[in-house]
């Protein structure tokens, strides 16, 4: 019976404890809220934010570095391409210069050859003319000498006339 009595008070909330719990709990909620939870939660939040910031900054730095690296690579590639281009251009220029020079040299050589040929032809003609003149002179001298010899006596002159007369056929 006594136990029954106790049991009843076990599940029967006492007014005193309800009153004090309400009072103390509300007071505790207010005091902790103001002097503990607010600064603690703010500090935790600030720290989380600072960690987040640090992480995102590090992330950004890493990204920047990667970008920089890729930029560098790009620049390197570009430089390499530029160099190749330059070399190609130089080679082309060299080739063209050489080709032109060759061309010019050929043309000069051709001109020189042509001049030389012309000169040779001229010299040849002159030489032939001279030769002809010499031949004529020589012929005349020979003819003179022959004539002199042929006409050295009367008989001979008569023989000749007769000969010539023979040839002249008076028809």
Partner 1 sequence: MTSKINTYRRNTPVFIRLFTLILLFGFGSLKAQHENRDTVLAGGPVHAAKEKEIDIAQIAFEHILDTHSWHFWGEGHEAVAIPLPVILKTDNGLVFFMSSEFHHDIHGTVVVEKNGRKFVNYEDIIYYASESPNEEGHYINSEKNEKGEVTVLNPAPLDFSITKNVAQLMLSSIALFLIFTSMARAYKKNGITTPPKGTQAFLEPLVVFVRDDLAKENIGPNGYKFVPYLLTVFFLILINNVFGLVPISANLTGNIGFTLVLAVFTFVLTTINGKKTYWSHIFTPHAPKAIWPILIPLEIIGTITKPFALMIRLFANMTAGHLIVISLIGLIFIFKSVYIAPVSIAFALFIDILEVLVAFLQAYIFVMLTSIFIGSAMEEPHEEDAHHHEGEKVAEAH
Spatial separation of the C-alpha atoms in residues 167 and 37, rounded to whole Å: 164
Instruction: Work out whether 85 is an interface residue with partner 1 (CB under 8 A).
Output: no
Intra-chain end-to-end CA distance of the chain, in Å:
205
Instruction: Work out whether 22 is an interface residue with partner 1 (CB under 8 A).
Output: yes
In sequence order, which residues have a C-beta less than 8 Å from that of residue 157 and are 6 or more positions away? 150, 151
Q: Is the Cβ of residue 35 or residue 85 nearer to partner 1 in the bound state?
A: 35
Find the binding residues for partner 1 in span 26-45 (CB under 8 A).
Answer: 27-29, 31-33, 35-41, 43-44
Q: Is the Cβ of residue 39 or residue 129 nearer to partner 1 in the bound state?
A: 39
DSSP assignments along 47-112, one per residue: HHHHHHHHHHHHHHHHHHHHHHHHHHHHHHHHHHHHHHHHHHHHHHHHHHHHHHHHHHHHHHHHHH
Backbone angles phi, psi at 160, to 5 degrees: -70, -50
Count the residues of the shown chain that bind partner 1, applying the rule CB under 8 A.
41
Instruction: Work out whether 56 is an interface residue with partner 1 (CB under 8 A).
Output: no
Q: Which range binds partner 1 by CB under 8 A, 14-22, 107-115, 126-134, 138-146?
A: 14-22
Backbone angles phi, psi at 169, to 5 degrees: -95, 110
Q: Is the Cβ of residue 28 or residue 75 nearer to partner 1 in the bound state?
A: 28
Q: Which range binds partner 1 by CB under 8 A, 2-10, 102-110, 122-130, 162-170?
A: 2-10
- Where along the sequence are the contacts to partner 1 (CB under 8 A)? 1-7, 9-22, 24-25, 27-29, 31-33, 35-41, 43-44, 46-47, 50
């Amino acid at each position: 019976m006594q136990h029954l009595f106790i049991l009843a008070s076990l599940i029967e909330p006492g007014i005193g404890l309800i009153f004090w719990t309400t009072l103390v709990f509300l007071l505790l909620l207010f005091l902790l809220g103001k002097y503990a939870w607010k600064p603690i939660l703010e500090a935790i939040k600030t720290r989380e934010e600072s960690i987040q910031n640090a992480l995102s900054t590090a992330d950004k730095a890493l990204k920047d570095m990667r970008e920089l690296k890729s930029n560098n690579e790009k620049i390197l590639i570009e430089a390499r391409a530029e160099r190749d281009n330059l070399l190609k251009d130089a080679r082309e220029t060299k080739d063209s210069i050489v080709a032109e020079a060759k061309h010019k040299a050929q043309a000069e050589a051709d001109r020189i050859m042509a001049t030389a040929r012309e000169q040779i032809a001229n010299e040849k003609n002159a030489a032939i003319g001279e030769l002809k003149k010499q031949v004529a002179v020589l012929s005349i001298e020979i003819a003179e000498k022959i004539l002199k010899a042929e006409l050295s006596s009367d008989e001979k002159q008569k023989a000749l006339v007769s000969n010539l007369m023979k040839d002249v056929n008076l028809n």
